[in-house]
Amino acid sequence: MPSLDSAQQFLAAHGRVLDRRRFERLFLGGDAEPVRAAVAAYRNPDGGFGHALEPDGRTPHSQPAATEQALRILDQADAWDDDLVRGACDQLQATAPAEGGAVFVDPNVEGWPAAPWWRPQEGASLVSTGQILGTLLARQVEHPWVETATELMWERVDALDGSGAYDLYGVLRFLDHVPDRDRAERALTRVEESVTRIVTLDPEATGEVHGPLGFAPRPDSIARPLFDDSTITAHLDHLAAGQREDGGWTFNWPTWSPAAEADWRGCLTVDALDTLRRNARLQD
């Protein structure tokens, strides 16, 4: 059984204020307002988020990945803030590519430290658009960006062929929360082959692998029926056993910056505990 006390000590020693506030909110009965304030510290005047809220992009400028993290955290911690969300949607609308949605990395990253895979690209990104949109749909946000992005995601999902793991994260996040549930279930049958081709079922596999909990982290995730109970149990066991001696969890992709590594470990420690709790694998 993971130790919440050890995780709290790890966050106190290594984690951002943001992740300490998330931990307090999710596991210690903390208030929502400190989480909102911590998220708002990463907000820019244009309404977007930056300042390494997504640890791999160290630019202060607004980036879709940072905005995705901000919205996800506000939702996860039940610290939703209509003003912050409206500003984020306005910024997404103002900077959207011609077809709508959001790019993967905005060119304003140039000149700032970032992971080697953070490269600006033109056009809407499935991972950025799908994950941002999924959170907004879960909260039933109404905004022109949401409407255009929803149309775009359906077009991309209908034409999907041989997508990679990160695109599928965006697609499945969208399908988890889009209101048209019948269409979502039909779309799942089209992406099932891609998911089963990419997913790593061995919980002990090393390297930058993508396990079932990445695609279906919650019992009610749309992709959860793609995996049998024994597989999910094995991966939850592995996640629970992933707490290191220092009290934190870590990640399986390349490390490029000590600051980014520390930020990611704090972020993922809270996320690991949250996943375990939502799957009834963590005692209160």
Of 212, 218, 246, nearest to 232 by C-alpha is: 212
pLDDT tens across 46-98, in order? 999 999 999 999 999 999 999 999 999 999 999 999 999 999 999 999 999 99
Q: Per-residue confidence at 162, pLDDT binned at 50, 70, 90?
A: confident
Contacts of residue 278, Cβ cutoff 8 Å, sequence gap at least 6: 217, 218, 219
Report which residue type is found at 122.
E
Q: Is a pLDDT exceeding 70 seen at residue 284? A: no
Q: Per-residue confidence at 257, pLDDT binned at 50, 70, 90?
A: very high
pLDDT at 145: 98
pTM of the model: 0.97
What tokens does 98 get? 């011609």
pLDDT at 130: 98
User: Rounded distance, CA 36 to CA 71, Å?
Assistant: 10
The domain limits of the chain are: 44-198
pLDDT tens across 189-248, in order? 999 999 999 999 999 999 999 999 999 999 999 999 999 999 999 999 999 999 999 999
